[in-house]
Structure 1
Amino acid sequence: MPGAPRFDVTYADVDVTNTAALRGEFDLVKVSYAALPWLLDQYTLLPCGGALGRGCGPLVLVKDQSIKSLAGRRVAVPGDRTTAYLLMRLWSAGEPPASVEVVPFAEIMPAVAAGTFDAGLVIHEARFTYQRYGLHALADLGEWWENDTGLPIPLGAIIAHRDRVDPEQATAWIKESVRQAWADPAASRQYVLEHAQEMEQDVVDQHIKLYVNEFTGSLGPDGHAAVDALLTRASDEGLVPATPLVKA
């Protein structure tokens, strides 16, 4: 859109961006909603561009279908401050795993399939491909969250550095970008494919359809309520620092 600057874009695993944001490395960055309690002193949450939704939550996967809980198990997770891991900790309270290891997202399913871990916590396009690894879903944490709260699941947030970015301008840039992408999906197709971890067109299309939704355009009341509910519950359980109500 007119007036928007050129961006120097870095692509990285979510655990990498969460950690980099703690150091204030990026002007605009996508992070996990679960990481916000450690970031809102430096960054402002923007009310658009993030990933929230229904039917799109993280999955806990196992190879051995006799496993019925994570109690005493070895589990691979995509990051220690991801929403996925926070949800897993809330869901498995009382039956915690024996050990948890942070593993790059793309390596989790192969590692579970190989028996390196008893279970793996996965996100995004893994919803559509995990059966190829001979894995089974022990739990759909998004479904659990929605049934428990009636709210969408807040996964990824866009935040702007308080000292370097005008949040109103950034919000306008992102909203216009989303509007143009919805108006002409073909215009961004090749760009998406160049940066997708899963290259199959049908998987990419399913991913976009599921995660780019009404909350991408605007968090709205339900989106804000979902973020507040997640962080308040996690704080009450002592899993994250207390966080003021998140209002963009």
Structure 2
Amino acid sequence: MKLAFSPCPNDTFVFHAWVHGLVDGAPPVDVTYADVDVTNTAALDGTFDIVKVSYAALPWLLDKYELLPCGGALGRGCGPLVLTADDRPASDIAGATVAVPGDRTTAYLLFRLWARGFEPGRIEVVPFHEIMPGVAAGRFDAGLVIHEARFTYRDHGLTCLADLGEWWESTTGHPIPLGAILARKGLDTTAIASWIRSSVEYAWANPDASAAYVAEHAQELSADVTRQHIELYVNEYTRDLGVDGRAAIDVLLRRAADAGLVPG
């Protein structure tokens, strides 16, 4: 079974047990490690059986895939940040050059919804690891960052212009839908969801078991940042989206479609 997810600590933590044959009844997997900005478009041809993508990419993928109710990243206090090298009002984004990690990421979709009325002058899609150094060096006026950057941006001397998670939660009351797990249509999604839940449960029950695997793919993150990353992004919504999680996804994609940013 072809499985694709990012090398980020939350994904390797969630899928460790399945990848290593520790989930009863789950088939062996052929894993592709790729950042979500890559899988958002790589999934368009239906190559993967199970794939981690941004919720923002769903409207382009639901002809080939079904959304699974578990395994993804959705929560509170975990949204993308807009960073600058100095203090400035949010309206200064108008006309600015902003670096973003992908044009179909949930982060960028939230940014576009937030910035309506003071749109930036130029958007540059660049590899995530280049964003904070680029902002610090003056290459970009601002940068849109996700994941562990929430814990490390001050190390680059940067300032948080806007927390898009706080903006989203205060505007809608919903948690932030970030990363989704999809299964190719025609597969047994009930079985797949049960294997993923079992992998999550194993990770929570045996947190040390995945430590070496997570560290191997953690791109030189410190153990403390890795721990914070997992604690923030692997939560009850990872076990099951539930009514609240599904409502958040619906609100995000309806707002985006109404604004003409994604297909209906």
TM-score interval, normalised by the smaller of the two chains? over 0.9
Per the TM alignment, residue 76 of structure 1 is displaced from its structure 2 partner at its CA by: 0.5
Give every structure 1 segment of 4 or more consecutive aligned residues whose post-TM-superposition deviation is greater than 6 Å: none
Residue 65 in 1 paired to residue 87 in 2? yes
| In structure 2, distance between residues paired with 1:220 and 1:119 | 35
The SS at the match of 1:9 is strand
Deviations 1:155-193 (A, max 9, x none): 000000114x32111101100000000111011111111
Q: What is the aligned counterpart of 1:215 among 237, 246, 251?
A: 237
TM-score (norm 2): 0.89
Structure 1 unaligned regions, length at least 5: 243-248
Q: What is the aligned counterpart of 1:84 among 101, 107, 112?
A: 107
Residue 114 in 1 paired to residue 137 in 2? yes
The SS at the match of 2:74 is strand
**What amino acid sits opposite 2:116 in the alignment?**
A
Per the TM alignment, residue 139 of structure 1 is displaced from its structure 2 partner at its CA by: 0.2
Residue 182 in 1 paired to residue 204 in 2? yes
Aligned to 1:246: none
Per the TM alignment, residue 14 of structure 1 is displaced from its structure 2 partner at its CA by: 1.4
| In structure 2, distance between residues paired with 1:123 and 1:204 | 14
Contact preservation (8 Å) 2:110, 2:164 = yes
| In structure 2, distance between residues paired with 1:151 and 1:197 | 31
| In structure 2, distance between residues paired with 1:19 and 1:45 | 16
Aligned to 1:45: 67
Deviations 1:62-114 (A, max 9, x none): 00323533100000101101000000000000100001011111111111111
Per the TM alignment, residue 128 of structure 1 is displaced from its structure 2 partner at its CA by: 0.2
The SS at the match of 2:33 is coil
Contact preservation (8 Å) 2:72, 2:181 = yes
TM-score (norm 1): 0.95
Per the TM alignment, residue 210 of structure 1 is displaced from its structure 2 partner at its CA by: 0.4
| In structure 2, distance between residues paired with 1:225 and 1:39 | 19
| In structure 1, distance between residues paired with 2:182 and 2:86 | 39
Percent identity over paired residues: 69
Deviations 1:192-231 (A, max 9, x none): 1111134200000000000000000000011000000000
Aligned to 1:11: 33
The SS at the match of 2:178 is strand
| In structure 2, distance between residues paired with 1:75 and 1:236 | 24
Structure 2 unaligned regions, length at least 5: 1-22
- Aligned CA RMSD, in angstroms, stands at 0.9
Aligned to 1:54: 76
